[in-house]
Structure 1
C-alpha cells in the first residue's frame, strides 16, 4: 500500500492476500469469502492514507477485545469443550442406566419406564450440540498450533461413539417401557437384565474417565471386551430359559442384548462403524452459502468461456 497509495491495485492485492491466508489456515469456504470482504470494507479504494490507517487500527482493536471476551466466555479450547460435552452426556447416560437397572431389579411400573424413556429422549436431543462442538474442535485443530489434529480427530470419533451409545440407551428405555406392560415377566430374567444394565453403566463411566486422560490409547482399554462378555452371558441365560419365556418377551430381551452389544462396540473406538462410515455434518452448522463460492466462480467462468467461443465461431 505504501507504493500504490491505497489505490485499486493495493486494495486488490490486500483482498487477494486475505483470501490466500484464509484458505491457507483452512478456515472454511465461508471464511474464505468473509475475510477478504471484511478487508475490502475496512480498506476501500480511494480512501486517504490516514482514514484507512484509522479504520484498520480500529478493526484490530475491536478484534483484540473480541478475542479477550471470547476467551473469558469460553475459557477452554474447542477440544476441551468437546471433552466436557462428552463427559456430561456420558455421565447422564450412565446414571440413567443405573436407574433403569435398579428399577428392573425390583418391580418397575409403567410410570417409571415412561420417565426413563423421557430422559433418554432428552439425551438424544443433545446429540446435535455435541456433533457441532466436535466439528468445531476438528476445524480449529486444522490451523491452530495449540491443538494436534490427531487429538481432535480422536475426540470426533469419541463424539460419534457417544452418539451411537445414546441412541442405544433410548432403545433400551423403549424396550423396558414395552416390558412394563407385560405381566408375565420372570424375576430371574429381570435380575439378569438388571445386572447387564448395571455393568453397562459402569463401562460407560470408566470410558468417560479414560477419555479425559490426555495420553490414553482408546483402542486398548479392554472396557468394550468386558461389556461384550456381559452381553454374551446374558444371551446364554436367555437361551437357557427360552422355554420359560413367551416369544414376545424373549424377542424383547434379545433386543436389549443387541443394544448392549452395540454400546460395547461404540466404546471400542476402533470399530469400523465409527471410523469407516462418514457422519453428516450438523444441520445447525451448515454454511451460510448453499454452494461453494469457488465452485460457483469456476462454473461461471466456464459458462462465459463457452458463450464467448460460440459467439466467435458463428
Structure 2
C-alpha cells in the first residue's frame, strides 16, 4: 500500500471514530436538546446534560428493535418456550423461598400467588434474565435514534429521570432490557412510577434486587388493573360453525356471554349472560382448543398485550 493510500485510510478511520464519538454523546444531539428544553422544569438541565454525555448509543438495541417480527407462533410452539419442566421447577423453588412474601402480597392485593410467580417466571425466569443494558443507554438510543418509536420512548425517558430523582438512584447505574424494561417484573419507567412499591419499607422500591418489592409491585399492578380475586380466568367453550372469525383472539372485552351466544360462542360452564368474555382459539398438539377468556384473562393482557402470553401465565 503506497503512502497516499495509507494517509487516506488513516483519515477515513479517524473521521469514522470522530463521528461515532459525536453520535454517542447525546448532550449535543439536536433532538436531545429539544427534549431537555421540554422537561427542564421537572428535572435539572445541568444534570441531564451530564447524564447525556455519559449515555452511549447502542446499535445492538436498534438491531433488536428492527428484527423482523417473529412469525406468529401457534400455542403449541409458544407454550414450549415457557412451560417446560426446568422453568416449572424453578417456579416451585421461587414460590417456596418467597412463600411468606407471596402470601402477604396476595392477601393485601387480592392477587393469587401463582399469578405473581408466573409473571416473574415468564418475564425474567425468576430473576435470572433481568437485562444487561444500562437503562439510560436503551432509552436515549430509542428516543433519539429510533424515529419509529421515539415519541413513546421519550415519555419513558422522562419517567426514568423522574423515578431516579424520586427514588434517589443513579441514572447511569440501573440495568434493564434493550427496550428499557426493568427488574424481576420488567416494568417500563412509566409503569414503575405508577405501580412499583416499597413492599418491605426500606425506602426504595427496588424491583431489581429486592424480591419483596418485586412481588409486591407485580401484585399491585394487577390490583390496579382490576384483578378480581377468586374469579376464573378462562373456560372451555363450543363454537358454532358459523362463528365470526374476526372476533377470535382479539383483546377486546366488549361483549357479554349473552351477546356471544347469539353469534356462535357458547361456554361449556353455566355463566351469567351479563359476564363479559372474549373468544379464543389455540392451536395445540392435540388440535384446536376453544375457550372464552374472562375478565381476569383480559387483565393479564394489560401486562403484555398478547393472548398467548396470557395463556402462558395462566397455565
Give your verdict on TM over 0.5.
no
Higher strand share goes to which structure?
Answer: 2
Q: TM-score normalized by structure 1?
A: 0.24
Rg larger in 1 or in 2?
1
Q: TM-score normalized by structure 2?
A: 0.24
